[in-house]
Structure 1
Amino acid sequence: MRKSQWIAAAAAFLLVLVTYWGCPVRPPEFDEGFNRGPVSATGVQSLIREAHTELTPAQKATLATLEERLESQEEDSARVDLLQQLAGEWYKAGKPSISGAYAARIAEIENSEQAWSITATTFSLCLKQEGIDDKTRQFCASQAEQAYQAAISLNPNNPETRINLAVTYTDNPPPDNPMKGILMLREIEQQYPDNPKVYITLAQLALKTNQIERAAERLATADRLDPDNPDVVCPLAKVYENLGRAGEADIYARKCAALLQ
């Protein structure tokens, strides 16, 4: 993918986020206990009560006004607009857990792959926050999983969403199946051997466990599939440097700089 294509793709994704708030076959595990129902009101209300102590008076007033307007609206289009504003306000307040809950309400109305993917991404951002408590982490993990599964059920042929779900499992392993994310990625690799993101993700996981040689192998595979991808080229430069392969590190460092210009 050319640099201009990457820039266009990134801009499009950012535009989607700003607009909202500032496996050809479904794997068996998705059929077991899958339920795309409303987000748990008890969990959300508990998070909102706790978060209110950290809000400024202006933020409280804005949120209260939006909630009042939401209660009086019956048209779906108007409700979606207000839910987007509420999601945006909570996201700006540093609460992606609550922002994701409002995004989920939008997804329940629109029931589209894009809406569920945005919901899942928002909850995934919650999981990347430092210092979140176990209750919030558990809430965000379960809601991210549910949203990713909903998006996959609407488009089972999109490997990107399945990869993102697998990453959620690796970041927050289910207690009864800690290898679930890794096993999912290996299945996706077999089903989509020409998808570079699979190998990029596997390389990132290898680096987390200091398996530098394995990371180099995965990134080299991704580089063969997508030689002008900065998400491949730039990490390869660092990996080769860590492995003491100075010549290759220099080549990829130069290429990385050129791609990022």
Structure 2
Amino acid sequence: MGKSQWIAIAVTSFLLLFTYWGCPVRPPELEEGLTQAPLAATGLESLIRAARADLTPAAMATLASLEERLETQTDDEQRMDLLEQLAGEWYRAGHPAISGIYAERIAEQLSTVDAWSIAGTTFTICIQREEEDNKTRQFCANQAEKAYQAAISLEPDDVNNRINLALTYVDAPAQGNPMQGILQLLDLVEKYPREPRVYTTLAQLAIKTGQLDKAAERLETAAELDPGSPDALCPLARVYDNLGNTEKSAIFAARCTAALEEKSANDN
């Protein structure tokens, strides 16, 4: 999987994460860095052993060949290419936990915000999969936390990684601190009062808990900050429809359509 494909996965995954709720500010106790990250509950070898039963013979052969080549390859550029291929193959095979491990190895070599964000996003997809067992989900939660912390340490003002870190806490709450992600999101409102995604994320939380009036208020704020954002306009149309406000629903539905058309034209 090439760099452009990984970027596409990251963008798609951020849209997926938008349907969840949460947020983050790096806790003071984590300032010492990645050495304080939680211990992994499992590892690559055990995950691969468990995944073999789900693989087709063709996939098994491809992955075995890539792993063998990786073990014998000494050229750094070639090793990076093999790591990307392994991450991509395991992702397509439906095993984001294993894909995330290879993405993490890439990030350790590149040490860039994008690479760590991709690793974190891949582990987050693992957390959100209902078919994953608790041990695997906990492993993915720990590794996602580590990856987002690394991305934040490289670019502290990137609010997206802070939001996605808290999604980890929301999807896999720490024992004894189930409100950690939500509280961090509320703190982000104070720290980033003009960041639209903070409000759209909070709005998704309100929608999930049936607080539609509060969701509308937060989405209105996001729309004021970014008038052409489909992430604010399109949910607003649905929220007002559910509230029975057909006039406002129609207004925001039209703005949503226009925003999506403009985005499509710009992408092309």
Letter in 2 for 1:48: I
Spell out, residue by residue over 1:8-38, the C-alpha distance to the aligned partner (whole angstroms, 9 max, x if none). Answer: xxxx98662469xxxxx9641322674288x
1:239 aligns with 2:235: no
How far, CA to CA, are the matches of 2:243 and 2:112 in structure 1?
45
- Tell me how many residue pairs correspond in the alignment: 245
Spell out, residue by residue over 1:159-207, the C-alpha distance to the aligned partner (whole angstroms, 9 max, x if none). Answer: 1110111122122211221111011111111111000000000001111
Equivalence for 1:5:
none
Spell out, residue by residue over 1:29-63, the C-alpha distance to the aligned partner (whole angstroms, 9 max, x if none). Answer: 322674288x9595221111010111011111101
Letter in 1 for 2:47: L
The alpha-carbon distance between structure 1 residues 153 and 45, as it changes in their structure 2 partners (threshold 3 A), is same
Letter in 2 for 1:165: L
Unaligned runs of 5+ in 1: 1-11, 20-24
Larger RCO (alpha carbons 8 Å, 6+ apart): 2
Letter in 2 for 1:16: I
Equivalence for 1:116:
116
Spell out, residue by residue over 1:71-116, the C-alpha distance to the aligned partner (whole angstroms, 9 max, x if none). Answer: 0112222111100000000001011111001001111111111111
| Aligned residues of 2:44 and 2:101 also touching (Cα < 8 A) | yes
The alpha-carbon distance between structure 1 residues 16 and 253, as it changes in their structure 2 partners (threshold 3 A), is same
Equivalence for 1:218:
218
Alignment of structure 1 residues 1-261 onto 2, 5 Å: 16-17=7-8, 27-31=27-31, 34-35=34-35, 40=40, 42-261=42-261
More deviation, 28-37/104-113: 28-37
Q: Percent identity at matched positions?
A: 57
More deviation, 167-176/230-239: 167-176
Equivalence for 1:4:
none
How far, CA to CA, are the matches of 1:173 and 1:26 in structure 2?
15
The alpha-carbon distance between structure 1 residues 221 and 41, as it changes in their structure 2 partners (threshold 3 A), is closer
Letter in 2 for 1:111: S
TM norm structure 2:
0.85
| Aligned residues of 2:26 and 2:162 also touching (Cα < 8 A) | no
Quote how far apart the aligned CAs of 1:131 are.
2.0
| Aligned residues of 1:90 and 1:98 also touching (Cα < 8 A) | yes
Quote how far apart the aligned CAs of 1:258 are.
2.3
Runs of 4+ in 1 over 4 A off after TM superposition: 12-15, 39-42
| Aligned residues of 2:42 and 2:139 also touching (Cα < 8 A) | no
Quote how far apart the aligned CAs of 1:257 are.
2.0
How far, CA to CA, are the matches of 2:9 and 2:197 in structure 1?
24
| Aligned residues of 2:91 and 2:99 also touching (Cα < 8 A) | yes
The alpha-carbon distance between structure 1 residues 137 and 249, as it changes in their structure 2 partners (threshold 3 A), is same
